[in-house]
Amino acid sequence: MARAALLGRLNWTLGEVVELIDETPRVRSIVLDVPEWPGHLPGQHVDIRLTAADGYQAQRSYSIASAPENDRVMLTVEGLPDGEVSPYLVDELRPGDKLELRGPIGGYFAWDARLGGPLFLVAGGSGIVPLMSMLRHRAVTESSVPSRLLNSSRTRQDIIFREELEHLAARADGLDVFHTLTRRQPDGWDGYARRVDAQLLAETAWPPASMPLTYVCGPTSFVETVANALVLLGHEARRVKTERFGPTGG
Amino acid sequence: MAHVSRGFRGRRAEDRGGSALPPGQYLEDGFPVLSAGPTPHAPLEEWTLSVFGDGFEPKKWTWEEFRALPSESIRTDIHCVTKWSKLDTSWEGVSIDTLLENVEHDATHVLAFCDGGYTTNVPLEDLVDGKAWIAFAYDGDPLEPEHGGPARLLVPHLYLWKSAKWVRELRLMDHDEPGFWETYGYHMYGDPWREQRYSGD
Amino acid sequence: MGNAELRVDGNAVGGVLGEIFVHEMTSARVKCEGCSAIEPLGAEHVYMQAPGIVVRCCHCESVLLVITQRDGSYMIGFQQIAWLET
């Protein structure tokens, strides 16, 4: 793993918003120019800190969506109705604004093509973000590591990066994408239509004997359900890496 | 100061210009859940509350016995060290005075022990004379586990970390001893009006 | 599971620990004195909705680390950590 992204004390620094992209009705990508950005590993995140004029501060972590091969850092944020930081990022932020951030952070929940596979990525809602960095990196480096993504979303409109995932799967370079929609499915939907359970995982995961590297990301209860089910299916716990985002809608 | 984020003010409720808040606090409409660990779920059949210390026989109540004690309604403001304050909250609980009735002791301090291992320390005089309760109901309903149910200590004149959730034992002592957060830098006393958040404040 | 939803994992303390330690800490392994389990910090349970951050063993919930902050200074309490290896 690239040591440059893993050594050295972290500090708060300022990035500048250069572009904003609406991904879904509630999700927005923020492209940042971060001076002296050391680069990052797919799967890493940054901490964002907001400060009000009276000194009041709030801080949250957001996964990096962009591949390390990009110069700019893209964060993809879901606006939570009761949130404190995410509504600001999704509704208020404008190009030219500065954002205080600390990162890149993480080494446990990180993957790059040198680690090989087969790779199994399991995403719940906005948990797709760090996994997208892995898939974008995989595509840009033209890796053919056998990979599968199981992506859980509420409705088709809520699938983040839906079109890009279609393009990635269409490259026929060893990536298969499975979707499940838990709340509502469009007419003619041929993907899964329920919350991820043991049976769904048994059908989509690599066989345990192939020793896959698995990354599970999303709300805490989603991650714990999936990770526990994978271990019960015979996957080695050490090869199932998790990143919990905390409560849904909190 | 850190970079000020244009247009950010956070989720704080508008100050309605009513009661003054302690310094550094902001008004909160919700009731945030703060926790240092998983929520304990002690079955009521096994729940007991004890008061013990030197020089007297320990007192112990089962849930039925505890709920048979005289209780009272409390209407008070609460202040969390993480800066939110909630005004005019209503609780129901058993006064610590009731629990200490007929207990002969010369204790000066109390250490509260809770399910899940949490502890906190409070001077005895801040728990008696109607200043503190073991609360079992909030806003008319049984206290929810995430807010400390079945019963929590309630000491509203101090920061809310002193109102230990899932309280099970009160140890009366002749000296002060730091509890969980106090061990890691938080103030031994914790008066919100003197903004005693950290030791040395 | 009660408020298990409120817990996150060691990835969430990567930033704080990254200000204190030179080595990346989410991949640092820790041994729990409560149950002897060895796990990367990233896999351990973290409770952040509190006056401080509490890191607990993901197997037995023993308290491993407590992190509090005051102004720019951090205090790290080491509880049930037998060792930590970067």
Distance CA C13, CA A33 (A): 24
SS (H, E, C) B133-153: EEEEEECCEECCHHHCCCCEE
- In chain A, which residues have pLDDT < 70? 1-5, 249-250
- The residue of chain C nearest to residue B200, with distances taken between CA atoms, is C70
Distance of CA A102 to the CA centre of its chain: 18
User: Which residues of chain C make contact with B186, given a CB cutoff of 8 A?
Assistant: 51-52, 68
Q: Domain limits of chain C?
A: 2-85
Distance CA A80, CA A94 (A): 18
Which pLDDT value is given to residue C2? 47
Per-residue pLDDT of chain B (201 residues; tens, 9 = 90+): 789 999 998 877 766 666 689 999 999 989 999 989 999 998 999 999 999 999 999 999 999 999 999 999 999 999 999 999 999 999 999 999 999 999 999 999 999 999 999 999 999 999 999 999 999 999 999 999 999 999 999 999 999 999 999 999 999 999 999 999 999 999 999 999 999 999 999
Distance CA A196, CA C10 (A): 24
Asked if the bond preceding A118 is cis, omega within 30° of 0, the reply is yes
Tell me the nearest-neighbour CA distance from A51 into chain B, angstroms: 5
Residues C1-13 have pLDDT tens digits of 345 678 999 999 9
Amino acid at B173: M
The structural architecture, per CATH, of the domain A3-105 is: Beta Barrel (2.40)
Strand-strand pairing, A175-181 and A147-153 = parallel
Q: Which of C1, C11, C22 sits opposite A9 (nearest CB)?
A: C22
Contact C70, C36 (CB under 8 A): no
Beta strands in A5-56 (DSSP E): 12-24, 27-33, 45-51
Residues B21-73 have pLDDT tens digits of 999 999 998 999 998 999 999 899 999 999 999 999 999 999 999 999 999 99
Helices A128-140 + A162-170 axis angle, to 10 = 40
Q: Is the dihedral of CA A140, A141, A144, A150 positive or negative?
A: negative
Tallying the residues shown for chain A, one arrives at: 250
Amino acid at B106: D
CB interface of A with B, residues 80-99, below 8 Å: 82-84, 88, 92, 94, 97-99
Tell me the nearest-neighbour CA distance from C79 into chain A, angstroms: 22
Strand-strand pairing, B119-123 and B59-62 = unpaired
Which pLDDT value is given to residue B20? 84
Chain C contact probe: residue of A105, A221, A236, A248 with most C CBs at under 10 A: A105
- CB–CB contact A88 B8 (8 Å): yes
Q: What is the mean pLDDT of residues C74-80?
A: 96
Which secondary structure element, helix H or strand E, spans residue B164, and what is its range?
Answer: none
Tokens standing for residue B124: 């005895």
CB interface of B with A, residues 55-84, below 8 Å: 83
Which pLDDT value is given to residue B10? 85
Contact with chain C for residue B55, Cβ under 8 A: no
Which pLDDT value is given to residue A247? 82
Q: Which fold has domain B46-194?
A: Sulfite Oxidase; Chain A, domain 2 (3.90.420)
Asked if the bond preceding A104 is cis, omega within 30° of 0, the reply is yes
- CB–CB contact B5 A55 (8 Å): no
Which pLDDT value is given to residue A249? 43
Cα→Cα distances A130→A14, A45, A100, A217, B37, Å: 21, 8, 20, 8, 26
Among the four given CATH numbers 1.20.140.10, 3.40.190.10, 3.40.50.20, 3.40.50.80, the one describing domain A113-244: 3.40.50.80
Torsion of CA C23, C25, C27, C28, to 10 degrees: 80
Q: Domain limits of chain B?
A: 46-194
Chain A contact probe: residue of B8, B28, B82 with most A CBs at under 10 A: B8
DSSP B178: -
Tallying the residues shown for chain B, one arrives at: 201
Q: Which of C4, C15, C24 sits opposite A6 (nearest CB)?
A: C24
Distance CA C67, CA C55 (A): 8
Chain C contact probe: residue of B184, B196, B197 with most C CBs at under 10 A: B184
Contact B167, B152 (CB under 8 A): yes
Distance CA B133, CA A102 (A): 43
Task: Name which of C67, C45, C41 is nearest A105 in CA terms.
Answer: C41
Distance CA A232, CA A198 (A): 9
Touching partners of C (3+ C-beta pairs < 8 Å):
A, B
Q: Which of A12, A58, A98 sits opposite B10 (nearest CB)?
A: A58
Strand-strand pairing, B84-95 and B26-27 = parallel
Tokens standing for residue A4: 């440059």
Strand-strand pairing, B133-138 and B152-154 = antiparallel
Q: Can you give the pTM of this predicted structure?
A: 0.94
Asked if the bond preceding A81 is cis, omega within 30° of 0, the reply is no
CB interface of A with B, residues 201-220, below 8 Å: none
Q: Which of C2, C7, C68 sits opposite B184 (nearest CB)?
A: C68
Contact A230, C14 (CB under 8 A): no
